A and B are shown apart, each in its own frame.
Chain A
Amino acid sequence: MSPTQWDFPVELCCRPMAFVTLTGLDVVYNAVHRAVWDAFCANRRADRVPISFKVLPGDHEYPKCRSKRTSYEWYIPKGILKTGWMNKHLNLVPALVVVFYELDWDEPQWKEKQSECATRVEIVRQSLQGRNTKVAVVLIQKKTPLPPGEDVIASERAAALCNVCELSGKSLFVLPHTDHLVGYIIRLENAFYEHAQTYYYTEIRRVKSHKEFLNKTTHQLLFVRHQFKIAFFSELKQDTQNALKNYRTAYNLVHELRAHETNILEIKTMAGFINYKICRLCFQHNTPLDAIAQFRKHIDLCKKKIGSAELSFEHAAWMSKQFQAFGDLFDEAIKLGLTAIQTQNPGFYYQQAAYYAQERKQHARALCNHDASVMYPSPDPLETQTGVLDFYGQRPWRQGILSFDLSDPEKEKVGILAIQLLERSVVHSEIIISLLSNAVAQFKKYKCPRMKSHLMVQMGEEYYYAKDYTKALKLLDYVMCDYRSERWWTLLTSILTTALKCSYLMAQLKDYITYSLELLGRASTLKDDQKSRIEKNLMNVLMNESPDPEPDCDVLAVKTAQKLWADRVSLAGSNVFTIGVQDFVPFVQCKAKFHAPSFHVDVPVQFDVYLKADCPHPIRFSKLCVSFNNQAYNQFCVLEEASKASEVLENLTQGKMCLVPGKTRKLLFKFVAKTEDVGKKIEITSVDLVLGSESGRCVVLSWQGGGGDAASSQEALQAARSFKRRPKLPDNEVHWDSIIIQASTMIISRVPNISVHLRHEPPALMNEMYCLVVTVQSHEKSPIRDVKLTAGLKPGQDANLTQKTHVTLHGAELCDESYPALLTDIPVGDLHPGQQLEKTVYVRCGTVGSRMFLVYVSYLINTTVEGKEIVCKCHKDETVTIETVFPFDVAVRFVSTKFEHLERVYADIPFLLMTDVLSASPWALTIVSSELQLAPSMIAMDHLESQVDRVVLQTGESASECFCLRCPSAGNVEGGVATGHYIISWKRTSGMESIPVISTVITLPHVIVENIPLHVNADLPSFGRVRESLPVRYHLQNKTDLVQDVEISVEPSDAFMFSGLKQIRLRILPGTKQEMLYNFYPLMAGYQQLPSLNINLLRFPSFTNQLLRRFIPTSIFVKPQGRLMDDTSIAAA
């Protein structure tokens, strides 16, 4: 955009920098000079001093300085600030003029050169006549200068040169043209900068000195002007603090000026300039709050200063510019590191600027609606002699006139007309949209999504006014869903209304229909008459006719649109529009509901589609189809009525295809599920409602899933929470809110009509072939085919169980690891009604514990549903939990030959192994046989044949066996010596002959074997008789490799007399035996203690009598002296 009247001048917005001109440089043809100039101006970084340089010829004419006024007494200013002033001091009047001159100290023609230089300086001075501009001379030298003070010629000649040129020593510089050019240049420009600051300081002093001559009545304008100048010079001097102070004073002075309609524009313009400067400096000083406060004050002061009512759009334009400029300043400060917040960011200022731009447009429309015949006045009252204004903010046709009375009202009128006519050519929408889009960008940054949406709506509306309907629709469409999801229906309706207008004016069929659908819906807050109008239009469109224009549209645009619509009608082609309605709120609501969450395959699947129209008039639809995830069913769920387009509006109240507003219409659909879909979900993927006919135009409203739109989930939630009592309706009608969408159903298999019985005798015994008898009986009315049985461990249990459970159909042999845990699909043939069959399954459980077994019977049967023959697969399953237990407990004991419990056995000394088998089974067990398998370390003392063959054990009964064994000395084995295995072969007593015998192997415990030094055993009869001799022979056997010293004594006893050695000490050689013979003579009958034998081994003190008593009997039964006949009877016993 080219700069307009309202844009701030460049010289106001730039950062003022000291202006220094360089003369005597030939930057075009002289390479050295070019290098010097480049060093000054190329790549100026922020750390260099703020100077703007310009190369000018030595004889350049600077602006003439007006003769200084000595008195202000008769001076009346013509305006506040001249339009050229700022530019003059930024770009025309330098603070310092530098004369570059090539001169070395050892120049041979010194005199001539010196005077030439002086001439050049003089020429510059001439052209600066009357100004305080400083002059400096820079000598460009080829040689590197010596350190100061060493070069005597240099200092002499420098002094001479200064003298000739009338320069102070501080204004003469030397620039050696060497390698370090940039370094020298930086030092030079720092020196220039000091000179420039002095210049601006004197300028400030000069302006201040005028003050005392001013008076408050005639020189009000000068107060402002001088204050502004001081501030501006301070800025040039880079004294921003003072600049700010002076600008603030100037600002206050501006508002003290007497304002009138004729000068209000000038006052506002200046106030705007000064305000801009103040805000800019505040941001620069990092005091954004001051900037905001100043701006607020500025706006409050100026808001009401509208000026001429005929030009009120100017005020709006000015206001808009103020806000925009502040927004720009704020944004710039943010880019430099300032942080803004949600409630205080540039967006608000751009938004307000846009608001004023809109106001400007409205005023302009109201004030500039001149007839086309009104010509632009000639001569142009806005034309000035120079092409520019002399003072900021004045009217071109009365520049410099301060009087508040209009000297020439006619001229004023022409001027205003010219401005009004010019305003007509301004593209307001463009300005507004660009401001709004600035604001949108800001609000996006500061987390204001709703503000952003609101501004986008405004942008869309502005595009609509600008007749850019495509862009308008794009924006409106974008934000619509936000308002929809937030359920602000009034706002949504307003947006939709605009969108509908756009789509009408562009004759966009699909959009037009879509927006109409929603404007007719329940979310729309339009009045009924509007709705009826839209509905009528929609019907027209569906009948391939043009709709009536939307109200309040531009007349010309409507004409174009009508032509477009006419073209659309004649155009053949795609006239079917499919509109997915789940994302908005259309005027027809739809809910689909399956009657049940699941259906058996042999009954028809039924569901209802409920429809309700919210539009003001009844509406007829031509087709309703429902789509499923299995598309094969789609064909069964189509409702269609051959209707001609013209009938749409007739016969409205009859027929299924007509929707009466507010009434819920229920449509029932029914189909037979396919047998392949058993176990699958049938889902409604979409419900399509067709309005209009294919001959005209038709619209397909497509609901995804089982209906529902953008608003329905919230409504359902509200309805669910409501306690409100619903009025009673006739039987066949339902409340819309009470219908809950059910968009899917399961197809499940037909109910089986067979019985499955299991017969078995729990618990199972470990490792046995457990017999499970399955009886299947058919109760079906027709024969069933393909009966299959699946039996075994129910899947999904502990994985270890699978490995320790085996199932077979053949009970005659033991099954091993290779048998499966579950037998699947065993064909068992067909069954006629009432027939039954039996199947035996054997299960072998390798571990104890409970298991779930599954028996699953499946079969096929033919049935008819809705006259359609289908083959149904039915199944019935039975599960049973079976406990597995040990059949018996086996206990093993080691005892001595005296049946005394043994902790350990002694080497080479016989002992007894006793086994007890205790039945734990609730069923009788038959022990077929048992077997003792000895380890190599054990030796049997006699035969080991089984003693329990063919024994039947009832519950709790036990069978014992006893084996005499001997263990040779085996040294000291850790943990004892292995004994061997005990194997029991058994089966259930009730089990059939064919069932195999199970062998249970029991590992016998290890036994500790100990060596003893001396073994004593006694030979004595089994009983004695009173007063009959009882010979007892003790055998003492040395088990060691040593000679044993043995002390033997026999203690006397009351019950016996005895003969033999009562006390003796003897030696037994290794491995030999010693016999001791005693004759006991019992004196008393009964169970008598024998005279005790004490043995004492001298080498083994640990060998005690306790140990000894394990081997030799301690008592004997003595029979009384009886008759002979009795003798024999006792002997027999």
Chain B
Amino acid sequence: MDRVCVCVLPMSSLRPNYPLYIRSTPTENELKFHYMVHTSLDVVDEKISAMGKALVDQRELYLGLLYPTEDYKVYGYVTNSKVKFVMVVDSSNTALRDNEIRSMFRKLHNSYTDVMCNPFYNPGDRIQSRAFDNMVTSMMIQVC
């Protein structure tokens, strides 16, 4: 039973936190991952608001483990313009340590920046970029 799942979505910085991009494997239980990512935003919001108060290093974008569940680990990352990245991985996957997660987020962020640099991309629209897609796919393959 292959239960490894990665779920990626940069969130718009606009008020409604709707997903610009969301993908998961396996696809049959997609809804569950959507819910998981959505609920993790509670923690992301709280962390971001805490950032405003305390003098946290502004260059640290990685939010770390958002909250643990029995079967999955939810990690978060937020850019300086408050674009949120959330990743859900199987908690049994011990190969993924903080450093790996961090570098995966960095990769995502870079790729997202490329998307944003596309003059034909309208910020706030769903991401429909082949390059971004391929990057996510390769990352998922690597993890699974």
Contact: B38 with A486, CB < 8 Å? yes
What chain B residues lie within 8 Å of A714 (beta carbons)? 14, 16
Contact: A449 with B42, CB < 8 Å? yes
Distance between Cα atoms of A343 and B120 in the complex (Å): 39
Most chain A CB within a 10 A radius of its CB, from B30, B69, B70, B125: B70
What chain A residues lie within 8 Å of B43 (beta carbons)? 342-343, 448
Distance between Cα atoms of A469 and B68 in the complex (Å): 33
Contact: B35 with A454, CB < 8 Å? yes
What chain B residues lie within 8 Å of A488 (beta carbons)? 18-19, 34, 38
Known: A450-B42, A722-B122, A724-B122. A343 touches B66 (CB 8 A): yes
Known: A718-B122, A721-B124, A724-B120. A355 touches B70 (CB 8 A): yes
Rounded to whole Å, the gap between the CB of B111 and the closest CB of chain A is 21
Rounded to whole Å, the gap between the CB of A327 and the closest CB of chain B is 14
Q: Tell yes or no: B61 within 8 A of A by CB.
A: no
Distance between Cα atoms of A491 and B31 in the complex (Å): 7
Q: How large is the interface on B (under 10, 10 to 19, 20 to 34, 35 or more residues)?
A: 20 to 34
Contact: A447 with B122, CB < 8 Å? no
Distance between Cα atoms of A964 and B30 in the complex (Å): 114
What chain A residues lie within 8 Å of B31 (beta carbons)? 490-491, 494
- Considering the complex, give the chain A residue whose CB is closest to the CB of B17: A486
Most chain A CB within a 10 A radius of its CB, from B31, B39, B41: B39
Known: A348-B67, A355-B70, A491-B34. A454 touches B39 (CB 8 A): yes
What chain B residues lie within 8 Å of A451 (beta carbons)? 39, 42
Complex interface residues of chain A between 460 and 505 (CB less than 8 A to chain B): 485-491, 494
What chain B residues lie within 8 Å of A348 (beta carbons)? 67, 69
Contact: B18 with A490, CB < 8 Å? no
Distance between Cα atoms of A355 and B72 in the complex (Å): 14
Q: Tell yes or no: A919 within 8 A of B by CB.
A: no
Number of interface residues of A (CB under 8 A): 28
A448 is contacted by which of B42, B122, B123, B124 (Cβ under 8 Å)?
B42
Rounded to whole Å, the gap between the CB of A684 and the closest CB of chain B is 26
Contact: A491 with B35, CB < 8 Å? yes
B18 is contacted by which of A355, A450, A486, A717 (Cβ under 8 Å)?
A486
Contact: A352 with B16, CB < 8 Å? no
The A interface, classified by DSSP as helix, strand, loop or mixed, is: helix
What chain A residues lie within 8 Å of B119 (beta carbons)? 723
Rounded to whole Å, the gap between the CB of B26 and the closest CB of chain A is 16
Distance between Cα atoms of A432 and B14 in the complex (Å): 36
Contact: A447 with B42, CB < 8 Å? yes
Distance between Cα atoms of A721 and B68 in the complex (Å): 38
Interface 1/0 per residue, A786-829 and B, CB below 8 Å: 00000000000000000000000000000000000000000000
Distance between Cα atoms of A489 and B19 in the complex (Å): 9
What chain A residues lie within 8 Å of B18 (beta carbons)? 486-489
Interface 1/0 per residue, A717-736 and B, CB below 8 Å: 11001111000000000000
Known: A449-B42, A721-B124, A723-B122. A490 touches B34 (CB 8 A): yes
Distance between Cα atoms of A491 and B68 in the complex (Å): 22
Q: Tell yes or no: B57 within 8 A of A by CB.
A: no
Distance between Cα atoms of A448 and B41 in the complex (Å): 9
Contact: A450 with B122, CB < 8 Å? no
Interface 1/0 per residue, B93-135 and A, CB below 8 Å: 0000000000000000000000000011011110000000000
- Considering the complex, give the chain B residue whose CB is closest to the CB of A721: B122
Q: Tell yes or no: B46 within 8 A of A by CB.
A: yes
Rounded to whole Å, the gap between the CB of A362 and the closest CB of chain B is 14
What chain A residues lie within 8 Å of B30 (beta carbons)? 490
Distance between Cα atoms of A486 and B119 in the complex (Å): 26
- Considering the complex, give the chain B residue whose CB is closest to the CB of A356: B70
Rounded to whole Å, the gap between the CB of B75 and the closest CB of chain A is 13
Most chain A CB within a 10 A radius of its CB, from B18, B30, B123, B125: B18
Contact: B16 with A721, CB < 8 Å? no
Distance between Cα atoms of A343 and B42 in the complex (Å): 10
Interface 1/0 per residue, B8-43 and A, CB below 8 Å: 000000101111000000000011001100110111
Distance between Cα atoms of A788 and B100 in the complex (Å): 85
Rounded to whole Å, the gap between the CB of B17 and the closest CB of chain A is 6
What chain A residues lie within 8 Å of B124 (beta carbons)? 717-718, 721
Distance between Cα atoms of A487 and B17 in the complex (Å): 7
Contact: B46 with A447, CB < 8 Å? yes
Contact: A343 with B67, CB < 8 Å? yes
- Considering the complex, give the chain A residue whose CB is closest to the CB of B30: A490
Rounded to whole Å, the gap between the CB of B71 and the closest CB of chain A is 9
Distance between Cα atoms of A489 and B14 in the complex (Å): 16
Rounded to whole Å, the gap between the CB of A936 and the closest CB of chain B is 83
Contact: A487 with B35, CB < 8 Å? no
What chain A residues lie within 8 Å of B42 (beta carbons)? 342, 447-451
What chain B residues lie within 8 Å of A454 (beta carbons)? 35, 38-39
Contact: A342 with B46, CB < 8 Å? yes
Distance between Cα atoms of A257 and B54 in the complex (Å): 50
- Considering the complex, give the chain A residue whose CB is closest to the CB of B44: A450
Known: A450-B38, A450-B42, A491-B34. A721 touches B70 (CB 8 A): no
Rounded to whole Å, the gap between the CB of A1016 and the closest CB of chain B is 96
A491 is contacted by which of B16, B38, B66 (Cβ under 8 Å)?
B38
What chain B residues lie within 8 Å of A487 (beta carbons)? 16, 18
Contact: B35 with A448, CB < 8 Å? no
Rounded to whole Å, the gap between the CB of A341 and the closest CB of chain B is 9
Distance between Cα atoms of A723 and B123 in the complex (Å): 10
Distance between Cα atoms of A410 and B19 in the complex (Å): 56
- Considering the complex, give the chain B residue whose CB is closest to the CB of A343: B67
- Considering the complex, give the chain B residue whose CB is closest to the CB of A344: B67
What chain A residues lie within 8 Å of B17 (beta carbons)? 486
Rounded to whole Å, the gap between the CB of B13 and the closest CB of chain A is 13
What chain A residues lie within 8 Å of B68 (beta carbons)? 343
Rounded to whole Å, the gap between the CB of A694 and the closest CB of chain B is 38
Contact: A352 with B70, CB < 8 Å? yes
Distance between Cα atoms of A342 and B67 in the complex (Å): 9
- Considering the complex, give the chain A residue whose CB is closest to the CB of B122: A722
What chain B residues lie within 8 Å of A724 (beta carbons)? 120, 122
- Considering the complex, give the chain B residue whose CB is closest to the CB of A447: B46
A485 is contacted by which of B16, B38, B39, B67 (Cβ under 8 Å)?
B16
Rounded to whole Å, the gap between the CB of B92 and the closest CB of chain A is 11
Distance between Cα atoms of A920 and B41 in the complex (Å): 80
- Considering the complex, give the chain A residue whose CB is closest to the CB of B66: A343
Known: A490-B34, A494-B31, A724-B122. A448 touches B39 (CB 8 A): yes
What chain B residues lie within 8 Å of A494 (beta carbons)? 31
Rounded to whole Å, the gap between the CB of A1089 and the closest CB of chain B is 97
- Considering the complex, give the chain A residue whose CB is closest to the CB of B22: A490
Rounded to whole Å, the gap between the CB of B88 and the closest CB of chain A is 14
Rounded to whole Å, the gap between the CB of A75 and the closest CB of chain B is 41
Complex interface residues of chain A between 327 and 343 (CB less than 8 A to chain B): 342-343
Distance between Cα atoms of A491 and B123 in the complex (Å): 22
- Considering the complex, give the chain A residue whose CB is closest to the CB of B67: A343
What chain B residues lie within 8 Å of A723 (beta carbons)? 119-120, 122
Known: A348-B67, A447-B46, A487-B18. A721 touches B34 (CB 8 A): no
Complex interface residues of chain A between 295 and 351 (CB less than 8 A to chain B): 299, 342-343, 348
What chain B residues lie within 8 Å of A355 (beta carbons)? 70
What chain B residues lie within 8 Å of A721 (beta carbons)? 122-124
Distance between Cα atoms of A488 and B70 in the complex (Å): 24
Most chain B CB within a 10 A radius of its CB, from A486, A488, A714: A488
| Apart from A355-B70, A491-B31, A491-B35, 20 more pairs, CB < 8 Å | A342-B42, A343-B43, A343-B66, A343-B68, A348-B69, A447-B46, A448-B43, A449-B42, A450-B41, A451-B39, A457-B35, A486-B16, A488-B34, A490-B31, A491-B34, A718-B124, A721-B122, A721-B123, A721-B124, A722-B122
Please give the residue numbers on chain B whose beta carbons come within 8 Å of chain A beta carbons, in ascending order.
Answer: 14, 16-19, 30-31, 34-35, 38-39, 41-43, 46, 66-70, 119-120, 122-125
Please give the residue numbers on chain A whose beta carbons come within 8 Å of chain B beta carbons, in ascending order.
Answer: 299, 342-343, 348, 352, 355, 447-451, 454, 457, 485-491, 494, 714, 717-718, 721-724
A-B contact pairs, 12 of them (CB 8 A): A299-B70, A448-B42, A448-B43, A451-B42, A454-B35, A454-B39, A486-B18, A490-B30, A491-B34, A717-B124, A718-B125, A723-B122
